[in-house]
Chain A
Amino acid sequence: MRRIISLLLENEPGALSRVVGLFSQRGYNIDTLNVAATEDPTLSRLTLTTLGDDQKIEQITKHLNKLLDVVKLVDLTEGPHIERELMLVKVRATGAQRAEIKRCTDIFRGQIIDVGPTVYTIQITGTSDKLDAFLQSVGEAAILEVVRSGVSGIARGEKVLSL
């Protein structure tokens, strides 16, 4: 099953490499990874998605918790949560395609954020599934470049991940 694991990480040199190193060292996969500072300058928030059965995920979270840089950890997929990913896509847009792509972008609630004579650059946010669906709709042939931020997420309701 796909899991979204979110961590508060010490904002220290080497902290990120310990997290990433753990995954390669123990043969776990990271599908997406996203990290940035939080409102507290001593902490970063890191969110990653990974695939694995319950036993594997349990091992992953236990090992992550053992790292001294990991201050707090939550598996967002264990409860109701919101996940978002940001994607920038550059697509070939000429002739009749221009209108078609514009329509498709609207349907997915995306925005065209840069326009060239033969290309559009589109920004779109949502769950990873939605971004995948958009790429499929546009079609491989038209896509010139895809940049995805990786998943970030937050629990629904009152629940917060903080110190």
Chain B
Amino acid sequence: MIAQALEDEGVEFIFGYPGGAVLHIYDALFKRSKIPHILVRHEQAATHAADGYARATGKPGVVLVTSGPGATNAVTGIATAYMDSIPMVVLSGQVASHLIGEDAFQETDMVGISRPIVKHSFLVKRAVDIPEVIRKAFYIASTGRPGPVVIDLPKDITNPYEKFEYNYPRKVKLRSYTPATRGHSGQIRKAVNLLLAAQRPVIYSGGGVVLGDASDLLTRLARELNFPVTSTLMGLGAFPGTDPQFLGMLGMHGFVEANFAMHHADVVLAVGARFDDRVINTASKFCPGAKIIHIDIDPASISKTIPADVPIVGPVDSVLTDMLELLQEAQAEGQQTDKAALAGWWEQINEWREKWGLWTKPRYDINSPLIKPQEVIEALWRVTDGNAFVTSDVGQHQMFAAQYYRFNMPRRWINSGGLGTMGFGFPAAMGAKLAFPEADVACVTGEGSIQMNIQELSTCTQYNIPVKIINLHNGYLGMVKQWQDMQYEGRYSQSTYEHSLPDFVRLVEAYGHVGIRVDKKSDLEGAMKEAFALKDRLVFLDIHVDPHEHVYPMQVAPNGAMRDMWISKSERI
């Protein structure tokens, strides 16, 4: 029944790992399923791979794990998906119904453990309910504000010797679940009037624009209005990164022009963004002069940290469509944006950009004999024509990738923004590559992060998943070191490896992959090209970069405003 329901749901891949409680299910997959199953080497990787698949395609990722340790190993990946609102369905085995609560072998209360990190969960009590529960799970995971759903399946209800009639419901009704389908038209009208009157507007675009497939609409609206656009870490690519209207990322490691524009704005249009603490810096000092319009599918995200002047609850695509329509009407009636004010605003922004922007001039030492991590990302961008799926782990490399890879398309930038999970990048890249076998998929990582799921090199051998791993090898837990440099007088407490790192080239070779070590600047571009030319091979580029580089800009915290930033080790603006 489970295998059939997953097929009926159109599932393309199952990422999982077998064990006692799910053996009936695995046997059913063996006997009859057409859905390819990817056997990972650790359940955490199964969830991240399913997550990467979901982020790349927009379809829910599917995970199958056993009870007890299988389920608990999946927890980090479920939490990662939850924090970034990623649709995912996790089927976890459970001990037989009569053993529940008895501390049975490999029993764990999965519904309980996962409760704060799921959109919803089910403990299936009767086999006949399986199809409906699966249908509901996919529906809940992928509609409204998406998120992971856990289905806990006691072993006895998957018993193949008991047969039931199978009915896959096409539609499900949930009386307590009705996500908004349209924004409030009065509010949208108010927003349009505010936008038209704005002198110093900024569009602050978030991950919701990517998840809500509203990139084109957002881009149209921004161009129509000629407003500057900044994006959160999660929203990169929703508005084209190479467009002159794009100010770069905002927030803790955001661009000066983006953070300045926000600070000085009179109208902020937030679309599918949630005013996260890594974006707003100090809430009380955030955008002191701005009226805030906030569009989000989740009412609980609105006015959570920053009160909205014009809250609009609804799917971003539908709200933006309505907004464009109203805008056209208003323009037809002769209402226009304040062109002169906008011209002045752009002049100001371009001045900031000239002075501090990361893309107008290199802001790192290009004459250094050492390879700079920023250069690596720039090379990656050139070699992949800016079109690759780039996943990342968490740390300095993640921020460099976000700053320097100018994403022009949504769903190409895949990273754990909310939970900040080291170990995410590599399995997520596997999921993206399986979904798009023809596309270039690169995982930008560091020695710390990659070792958190490095066992997946074996999975890539088994299924031939030729992702490229770009290891920005700085010999430290770089982001930790940066904070220790800045706030702890350089006391590197447990952020060094003391010469314990493996020879990554030989390590990946042991798994049957290609490893290339790069420590000369002059070799960088060539090695990058070589890696991507090897279409059918997993290539691990171990790139030795300047160990002491910091990520800048970096907002001053605590108590800083958006505009307060370090722009180098010694300059604060």
Q: Residues of A with Cβ closer than 8 Å to B? A: 10, 13-14, 17-18, 21, 25, 55, 58-59, 62-63, 65-72, 163
- Report which of B123, B300, B304 forms a contact with A66, defined as CB distance below 8 A: B300
**A–B pairs, 27, beta carbons within 8 Å:** A10-B176, A13-B123, A14-B111, A14-B115, A14-B121, A17-B112, A18-B115, A21-B116, A25-B116, A55-B307, A58-B303, A59-B300, A59-B304, A63-B300, A65-B299, A66-B299, A66-B300, A67-B176, A68-B119, A68-B120, A68-B140, A68-B176, A68-B177, A69-B176, A71-B175, A71-B176, A163-B175
Interchain CB contact under 8 A, A14 and B304: no
Instruction: Please name the residue on chain B nearest to A9 by beta carbon.
Output: B176
Interface status of B309 (Cβ within 8 A of chain A) = no
Q: Which residues of B contact A10 (CB under 8 A)?
A: 176
Which residues of chain A have C-beta atoms less than 8 A from B123's C-beta? 13-14
Shortest distance between the CB of A62 and any CB in chain B (Å)? 4
Residues in A neighbouring B340, C-beta threshold 8 A: none
What distance in Å separates the Cβ of A7 from its nearest Cβ neighbour in chain B?
10
B112, B115, B119, B300, most chain A CB atoms within 10 A: B300
Produce 1/0 per residue, B163-195, CB < 8 A to A.
000000000001111000000000000000000
In the assembled complex, the Cα of A77 lies from the Cα of B13 at a distance in Å of 50
List B residues 51-84 near A (Cβ within 8 Å). Answer: none
Docked CA distance A66–B120 (Å): 10
Q: Residue B299 contacts which of A25, A62, A67 (CB distance < 8 angstroms)? A: A62
Closest 4 CB pairs of A and B: A62-B300, A71-B176, A25-B116, A68-B120
Name the CB-closest residue of A to B144: A66
Contact of B115 among A17, A62, A63 (CB under 8 A): A17
A21 touches B115 (CB 8 A): yes
Q: Mark B284-322, 1 if CB is under 8 A from A, else 0.
A: 000000000000001110011001000000000000000
Shortest beta-carbon distance from A55 to chain B in Å? 7
B308 to chain A, nearest CB (A): 12
B111 touches A55 (CB 8 A): no
A55-B303 in contact given A14-B121, A14-B123 (Cβ < 8 Å): yes
When chains A and B are docked, how far (Å) is the Cα of A17 from the Cα of B140?
19
Are A68 and B115 within 8 A (Cβ)?
no
Contact check: which of A13, A25, A66 meets B298 at CB < 8 Å? A66
Name the residue among A55, A62, A163 with the largest chain B CB count within 10 angstroms.
Answer: A62
Do A68 and B304 touch across chains, with their CB atoms under 8 A apart?
no
Complexed CA–CA distance, A28 and B307 (Å): 19
